[in-house]
């Protein structure tokens, strides 16, 4: 007892006590603070899932099943991930309306907040590609030339060299990429909607996706400042050849009909 009180009176004792107290509060803070915010995140997340589930039951369950297991009218959504929902609902493809060769883009009917909730619910059914963040899809500083190269090898066979889009077999088509947001471009690559193959990060890393986004934006920007004249859709020699065929032949046929009509008239009189 005596020893302790003797130590307590040591000139450094106060400093030691202070340091210990600081360490203790620091430790306590470290131990509890992040757990606190993590918990808050968790409750926000489960709230979003709860809300998403309600929206889902009303708008999606009839085709995709009450638990997302799929029905004869829509595929299973287990494991498609939040990115797929954000793309499908964010571009107005979902909820689908009538059956057809391909579900088209439509007016978006959900707010972004509701889309996030739907995405949270579907993501809770099974892990899948996650909606990218703003910085992940931001093409600032990306390599446009590299993006063009990647686009020509991976995308141009369906979407055309400048992303004009084009027809595929059985009434399907690759849509034009003009005006598609960087986020939806990224998500389309991540998830491969309908007849499009997917380009997951393992085969096409984030950096390459950004290069492609930068390229698509660059060619779309170019189109709006077209050097003048009719661009014929920018499809190159094929469309120009087609133009010559349709209009050139059309003119020849018109002349032939005119000549025939006049000879007929001449015979009659």
Tell me whether residue 145 or residue 252 sits nearer to ligand HEC (CB atom). 145
Determine the interface stretch with ligand HEC among 43-51, 68-76, 130-138, 260-268 (rule: CB under 6 A).
68-76
Q: How far is the CB of 47 from ligand HEC (least distance, A)?
A: 18
Q: How far apart are CA 95 and CA 106, in angstroms?
A: 9
| Nearest Cα to Cα of residue 95 among 52, 123, 60 | 60
Buried/exposed code over 79-96 (b: 16+ C-beta within 10 A; e: otherwise): ebbbbbbbbbbbbebbbb
Tell me whether residue 3 or residue 170 sits nearer to ligand HEC (CB atom). 170
Interface with ligand HEC, residue 48, by CB under 6 A: no
Tell me whether residue 126 or residue 250 sits nearer to ligand HEC (CB atom). 126
Buried/exposed code over 235-252 (b: 16+ C-beta within 10 A; e: otherwise): beeeeeeeeeeeeeeeee
Exactly one of 48, 142, 174, 219 binds ligand HEC (CB under 6 A); that residue is: 174
| Nearest Cα to Cα of residue 213 among 130, 157, 135 | 135
Residues numbered 83 to 112 that lie near ligand HEC (CB under 6 A) are: 84-85, 88-89, 91, 93-96, 102-103, 105
Question: In this structure, what token pair is assigned to residue 63?
Answer: 């085709």
Question: In this structure, what token pair is assigned to residue 53?
Answer: 């589930």
Tell me whether residue 158 or residue 234 sits nearer to ligand HEC (CB atom). 158
Interface with ligand HEC, residue 166, by CB under 6 A: no
Residues numbered 222 to 251 that lie near ligand HEC (CB under 6 A) are: none
Question: In this structure, what token pair is assigned to residue 264?
Answer: 């007929």
Q: How far is the CB of 178 from ligand HEC (least distance, A)?
A: 9
Q: How far is the CB of 115 from ligand HEC (least distance, A)?
A: 8
Tell me whether residue 84 or residue 162 sits nearer to ligand HEC (CB atom). 84
Would you tell me how many other CB atoms lie within 10 Å of the CB of residue 20? 10
Q: How far apart are CA 160 and CA 149, in angstroms?
A: 13
Interface with ligand HEC, residue 69, by CB under 6 A: no
Determine the interface stretch with ligand HEC among 9-17, 33-41, 71-79, 221-229 (rule: CB under 6 A).
71-79
Contacts of 186 (CB under 8 A, 6+ apart): 132, 136, 137, 209, 213
Assess contact for 95 and 59: CB atoms under 8 A. Answer: yes
User: Which stretches of the chain bind ligand HEC, using CB under 6 A?
Assistant: 59-60, 62-64, 73-75, 77, 80, 84-85, 88-89, 91, 93-96, 102-103, 105, 118, 154-155, 157-159, 168, 172, 174-175, 177, 180, 184-185, 188-189, 191, 193-197, 199, 212
């Amino acid at each position: 007892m005596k020893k302790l009180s003797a130590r307590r009176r040591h000139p450094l004792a106060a400093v030691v006590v202070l340091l210990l107290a600081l360490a203790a509060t620091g430790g306590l803070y470290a131990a509890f603070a992040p757990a606190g915010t993590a918990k808050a995140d968790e409750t926000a997340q489960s709230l979003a899932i709860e809300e998403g589930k309600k929206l889902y039951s009303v708008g999606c369950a009839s085709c995709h099943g009450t638990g997302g297991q799929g029905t004869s009218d829509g595929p299973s959504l287990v494991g498609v991930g939040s990115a797929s929902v954000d793309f499908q609902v964010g571009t107005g493809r979902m909820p689908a309306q009538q059956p057809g060769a391909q579900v088209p883009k439509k007016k978006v009917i959900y707010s972004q907040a509701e889309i996030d909730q739907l995405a949270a619910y579907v993501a809770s059914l099974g892990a899948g590609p996650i909606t990218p963040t703003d910085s992940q899809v931001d093409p600032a500083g990306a390599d446009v030339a590299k993006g063009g190269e990647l686009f020509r090898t991976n995308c141009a066979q369906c979407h055309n060299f400048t992303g004009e889009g084009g027809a595929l077999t059985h009434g399907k088509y690759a849509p034009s990429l003009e005006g598609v947001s960087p986020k939806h471009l990224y998500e389309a690559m991540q998830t491969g909607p309908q007849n499009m193959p997917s380009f997951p990060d393992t085969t096409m890393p984030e950096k390459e996706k950004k290069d492609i986004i930068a390229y698509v934006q660059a060619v779309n920007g170019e189109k709006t400042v077209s050097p003048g004249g009719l661009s014929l859709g920018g499809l190159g020699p094929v469309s120009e050849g087609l133009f010559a065929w349709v209009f050139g032949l059309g003119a020849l046929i018109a002349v032939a009909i005119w000549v025939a009509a006049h000879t007929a008239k001449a015979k009659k009189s």
